[in-house]
Amino acid sequence: MSNRAWQFLQADATALPFADSTFDLTLTSPPYMDARTYGINAQRGCAAWVEWMLKVVAECQRVTRGPVIIIAAGVTRDRNYWPGCEGLMWEWWKRGGDCHLYRPCYWHRVGIPGSGGKDWFRADVEYAMCFKRPGKLPWSDNTACGHPPKWGPGGEMSHRIANGARVNQWGHGGDGPSCIARLADGSRDRRPRPSHAAMTKGEWAGKCGNGSRRTIGEHKAGGYDLPILANPGNLIHTKAGGGHTGHPLAHENEAPYPELLCERFILSLCPPGGRVLDPFSGSGTTVATAARLGRRGIGCDLRMNQCELGTRRLLTPNAKAKKKPAAVTEMKLVEDVGLFSFAAGGGEVRRGI
């Protein structure tokens, strides 16, 4: 029995050697349309890419009970944008039945913007498409990467009434005729609305105590539950490119993405101790991040040298890493996945083809 929380396996993403619903989350980045060949003819035209990716997504969804997150972008050729990602989501949605989507997220690749050419705008973002089964996600913590709310609790929203006057607009109506916020003595109420008062982290911690929710009853009987963390939204900014991927070995893959991007999805969509799959694992960024965050990661790549690269990466601590791996012990991967046998104490790479 191994205590390793990760594994690499040579496999084709359209025929994964796993049982149905083996993973909690799939997070991956396939070869983009008409981009790199990876030495295995992996570039495809727009329509061919969509057809192929429909097979990949269906296979990933089969082995994953939670969401399947695909990082990708379209390309522009001869001043003509190829809407492969949009086409993929549209075709998936049209299938209906078990083929559902969540609104995509957008990855802002700070530091490596694309070129828009001489007459168009630069490309700063890529899609993080979310393919899923119907209904609620089996596990999610959508504020896991959230920040303390910036504004204090505001109670009633400001709004207009039938005669056009504004209510609950303390201090923001100025002296204009629409402002009816007056104190008992008839003077204007110039206090800022509580929701318009920025809070410092310390003030917020004071309100939320030791992290438990606290109800305040300022505005209504029954009170108001203070949110502890704000929803971080669907635009993810991370530095990308040289020095920002999370490990020097990442650059032995042609197109690595950063560990910070993986963090958002793994912390938010895979429970602690759960299983994450990357069917296009390359240098092993997803698997390395999963292992660091106390999840179990499995990476597959068609190229054996990439499976070996992932293994080397996981066995080589990043001397410059600011974030140290969480202690991962007694992960019963062999038993759980029922596929691999490990050399005692070591992660293993398996030739599958």
Ligand X SMILES: C[S@@+](CC[C@H](N)C(=O)[O-])C[C@H]1O[C@@H](n2cnc3c(N)ncnc32)[C@H](O)[C@@H]1O
Task: Looking at residues 37 to 66 of the shown chain, list those that interact with ligand X (rule: CB under 6 A).
Answer: 38, 42
12, 91, 124, 308: which one binds ligand X (CB under 6 A): 12
Nearer to ligand X, 53 or 89 (CB): 53
Tokens representing 249? 């070995």
Looking at 25-33, 171-179, 235-243, 329-337, which segment touches ligand X (CB under 6 A)?
A: 25-33
> Which positions ≥6 away from 9 have C-beta within 8 Å?
17, 298, 299, 300, 307, 339, 340, 349, 350, 352
Q: Is 84 in the site for ligand X (CB under 6 A)?
A: no
**Distance in Å, CB of 267 to ligand X, minimum:** 17
Task: Looking at residues 292 to 331 of the shown chain, list those that interact with ligand X (rule: CB under 6 A).
Answer: 300-303, 306
Nearer to ligand X, 99 or 261 (CB): 261
Nearer to ligand X, 46 or 228 (CB): 46
Site string for ligand X, 260-279 (x = CB under 6 A): -------------------x
For residues 202 and 91, give the distance between their C-alpha atoms in angstroms, rounded to a whole number. Answer: 48
Q: Is 127 in the site for ligand X (CB under 6 A)?
A: no
Nearer to ligand X, 7 or 306 (CB): 306
Secondary structure element (H or E) that encloses residue 118, with its range? none
The residue whose Cβ lies closest to ligand X is 282
DSSP secondary structure letters along 276-291: EEETT-TTTHHHHHHH
Distances (CA, A) of 328 to 12, 66, 134: 28, 22, 32
**Distance in Å, CB of 302 to ligand X, minimum:** 4
Distances (CA, A) of 293 to 270, 276, 287, 315, 334: 10, 11, 10, 16, 20
On whether the CB atoms of residues 49 and 37 are closer than 8 A, the answer is: no
For residues 264 and 142, give the distance between their C-alpha atoms in angstroms, rounded to a whole number. Answer: 9
On whether the CB atoms of residues 36 and 43 are closer than 8 A, the answer is: yes
2, 285, 289, 311: which one binds ligand X (CB under 6 A): 285
Q: Is 352 in the site for ligand X (CB under 6 A)?
A: no
Secondary structure element (H or E) that encloses residue 238, with its range? strand 235-239
Alpha helices by DSSP H, listed for 196-346, are: 201-208, 259-269, 285-292, 304-315, 333-337
54, 63, 250, 333: which one binds ligand X (CB under 6 A): 250
For residues 197 and 38, give the distance between their C-alpha atoms in angstroms, rounded to a whole number. Answer: 53
Looking at 30-38, 80-88, 117-125, 135-143, which segment touches ligand X (CB under 6 A)?
A: 30-38
13, 60, 129, 145: which one binds ligand X (CB under 6 A): 13
Q: Is 256 in the site for ligand X (CB under 6 A)?
A: yes
For residues 66 and 136, give the distance between their C-alpha atoms in angstroms, rounded to a whole number. Answer: 9
Nearer to ligand X, 188 or 312 (CB): 312
Looking at 181-189, 228-236, 282-290, 332-340, which segment touches ligand X (CB under 6 A)?
A: 282-290
Q: Is 283 in the site for ligand X (CB under 6 A)?
A: yes
User: What is the binding site for ligand X (CB under 6 A)?
Assistant: 12-13, 29-31, 38, 42, 250, 253, 255-257, 279-280, 282-283, 285, 300-303, 306
